[in-house]
Amino acid sequence: MRLSMIGTGYVGLVTGVCLANVGHDVVCLDIDDAKIAKLRKGQSPIYEPGLDELLAHNIKAGRLKFSTDAWEAHQNADMIFICVGTPSDERGHTDLKYIDAAADTVADVLLKLGSNQKPKVIVVKSTVPVGTTFRVRDRIRAKVGPTVPFEVADNPEFLKEGAAIEDFNKPDRVVVGVENDRTGQTMRDLYDPFVRNGHPIFVMDILSAEMVKYAANAMLACKISFINEMANLCEAYGADVSKVREGMCADKRIGGQFLYPGLGYGGSCFPKDTLACIMMGETRGVPTPVNKAVHELNQAQRERFFSKILSHYKAKNAPGGLTGKTLAFWGIAFKPRTDDIREAPAITLMRLAMSYGAKVKAFDPVANENARKELGANFEIVDDMYEAIEGADGLIVSTDWDEFKSPDFARVSKLMRQHVLFDGRNLYRPSQMQQAGFSHYSVGRAPVVSC
C-alpha cells in the first residue's frame, strides 16, 4: 500500500519506518523543515534503539521518503496516518490544534483530487480525547463537501519509547476503531504482518478504540502511583518496599510490571493522558477520583524526594537553602533508552535544586542535547558521568540507565566532595552503600546516614 504519516515524532517516524520495512511505500510529512532535512540525509532526529538501521535500510530500498509538502505526501496515499502531538494544559484540556491543522491539510488534498478518487482511509494514531476522530471526519467533510469519498479510523499506538521498534513490530495487541467492515478489513490487512505471533487485532467502534488508549495508560500510571504510595508507607513504618514488592508481586493476579517505586512517571503520555481522563470526566460530569489521586501522588512524589535532599543538608525550605552545594544528576531523560525529556522527574528536580541556589551538573547518555536546549546555559550538562560528580556534594540518580547500575564506587568516592547518594530509582542496596561509606537515600527503604 501507499501510506503517508503526518508528523515524524516518536510515533509517526517509528510507524512510518516499520510499515516501510514490511514493504509499503511510505512518505513521512512534517512541518518542521529541520527534521525533514535531517531525515532526508538518513539521520534520525530522535534517539530510539534500532531506528537508525531501519531508517537507512528503507531509504536505500526506496520505500521511505520525507516531505514538507502535503500534496506530495498524500496525493497517492491509500491511507494517511495522523501522528501529531496532542499536548494538554495543566488541567488536562487537550490542545487539538495540531490535529485540526493535519485534518485541514488532508482536506485540501482530497478536495483537489475531487469526487472521482479511491477513498483514502484517514487514520488517527495520536492519542485523542474520545470523539476526536469524528471531529476530524466532520472537519474534513465540511471542507470537501458531500461527494468526495474518504473513511476514518482510530488506531491508538501503544509503543514504549526506548523499545518502540520492538513494540511496533511485535505488539501485544492492535486496536482499531472503524465505522464499517471494509475499513476494518483494510486495517487488518495492514497489521497482519505484525501479529504473526498470534497476538490479536481488536476491531471495534471508534469511541471505544479511543478510550482503550486512555484506559491502558491510566491503569499503568495508577500502578506506578500505587507502588509509590506503598513505598511512602514503608518509609513511615520501617518496612522495605523492595521486599514488600517481591512478596506482593509473586501473586499472579498482581504481577510485577510497572510496580517499581521511584520518582514517579514522566514523559509525554502518562501525565497528559491521566489529566485528559480527569478532564473528560469533568466535561461529562463523571467523577474521576482515581485518576486525580494518581496524578496528585505522582507530582507530590518528586517534591517528597526533594525534601530528602533538603533535610540531609539541613537546608532551609526556602530559596537559597542549597546555596554553596553542588548537586550532580545522573540521568535526565524521563526513562532509560530514550532522549525524551518531556515531563522528566529529573528536570523538575534540577529546576528545584537550582531555585534553591544549588549548582547543578548533569549527565545523560543520550538526552544531553535536548536538555541543553530546554534548560539553557545556567545548568551545566556534561558528557561524562564521572565528570558530572567532580566536586559534588550529592549525586541524584534520576534515570535508571544500565550504565548507572554498577558504577565504580571507589572512583565516585574519590571524585565527590561529600559522599551522598540520592537514589531516585532504587538502583543500589542500602547495605552496599553503607559498606562503601555513602549516605544513601532511596524510595521506600531506610536511609543510610554515613556522614
Looking at 64, 159, 178, 276, which residue binds ligand NAD (CB under 6 A)?
159
Locate 51 and state its grid cell. Answer: 531506528
Between residues 106 and 352, which has the closer beta carbon with respect to ligand NAD?
A: 106
Could you give the angle at the alpha carbon of 322 between the alpha carbons of 319 and 324, nearest 5°?
125
Q: Is 92 in the site for ligand NAD (CB under 6 A)?
A: no
DSSP for 32-61, written as a single string: -HHHHHHHHTT--SS--TTHHHHHHHHHHT
Looking at 3, 4, 10, 123, which residue binds ligand NAD (CB under 6 A)?
10
Between residues 183 and 370, which has the closer beta carbon with respect to ligand NAD?
A: 370
Q: Is 175 in the site for ligand NAD (CB under 6 A)?
A: no
Classify residue 304 by burial, with Cβ atoms within 10 Å: 0-12, 13-18, 19+. Answer: middle
Residue 199 and residue 258 in contact, taking contact as beta carbons nearer than 8 Å? no
Looking at 3, 11, 19, 148, which residue binds ligand NAD (CB under 6 A)?
11
Q: Which among 90, 94, 105 is positioned nearest to 5, based on CA atoms? A: 105
Instruction: Give Cα 270 to chain centroid, integer Å.
Output: 7
Spatial distance between the Cα atoms of 447 and 238, rounded to a whole number of angstroms:
10
Q: Is 121 in the site for ligand NAD (CB under 6 A)?
A: no
Between residues 83 and 263, which has the closer beta carbon with respect to ligand NAD?
A: 83
Catalytic-residue membership of 269:
yes
Between residues 268 and 298, which has the closer beta carbon with respect to ligand NAD?
A: 268
Q: Which of residues 262-321 bind ligand NAD (CB under 6 A)?
A: 268-269
3 state DSSP class of 19 = helix
Between residues 159 and 333, which has the closer beta carbon with respect to ligand NAD?
A: 159
Q: Least CB distance from residue 101 to ligand NAD, whole Å?
A: 4
Q: Is the dihedral of CA 175, 180, 186, 192 positive or negative?
A: positive
Residue 5 and residue 83 in contact, taking contact as beta carbons nearer than 8 Å? yes
Q: Is 344 in the site for ligand NAD (CB under 6 A)?
A: no
Residue 206 and residue 154 in contact, taking contact as beta carbons nearer than 8 Å? yes
Spatial distance between the Cα atoms of 451 and 448, rounded to a whole number of angstroms:
9
Looking at 9, 264, 345, 424, which residue binds ligand NAD (CB under 6 A)?
9
Q: Which among 155, 157, 169, 162 is positioned nearest to 266, based on CA atoms? A: 162
Q: Is 98 in the site for ligand NAD (CB under 6 A)?
A: yes
Q: Least CB distance from residue 354 to ligand NAD, whole Å?
A: 26
Bridge partners, residue 121, by sequence: 79, 151
Q: Which of residues 46-85 bind ligand NAD (CB under 6 A)?
A: 83-85
Q: Residues 211-250: x/- map of binding to ligand NAD (CB under 6 A)? A: ----------------------------------------
Classify residue 151 by burial, with Cβ atoms within 10 Å: 0-12, 13-18, 19+. Answer: middle
Between residues 28 and 241, which has the closer beta carbon with respect to ligand NAD?
A: 28
Catalytic entry in 18, 28, 83, 269? 269
Between residues 73 and 349, which has the closer beta carbon with respect to ligand NAD?
A: 73
Q: Is 343 in the site for ligand NAD (CB under 6 A)?
A: no
Q: Is 127 in the site for ligand NAD (CB under 6 A)?
A: yes
Contacts with ligand NAD, residue ranges (CB under 6 A): 6-12, 29-32, 35, 83-86, 98, 101-102, 126-127, 157, 159, 161, 268-269
Active site residues: 269
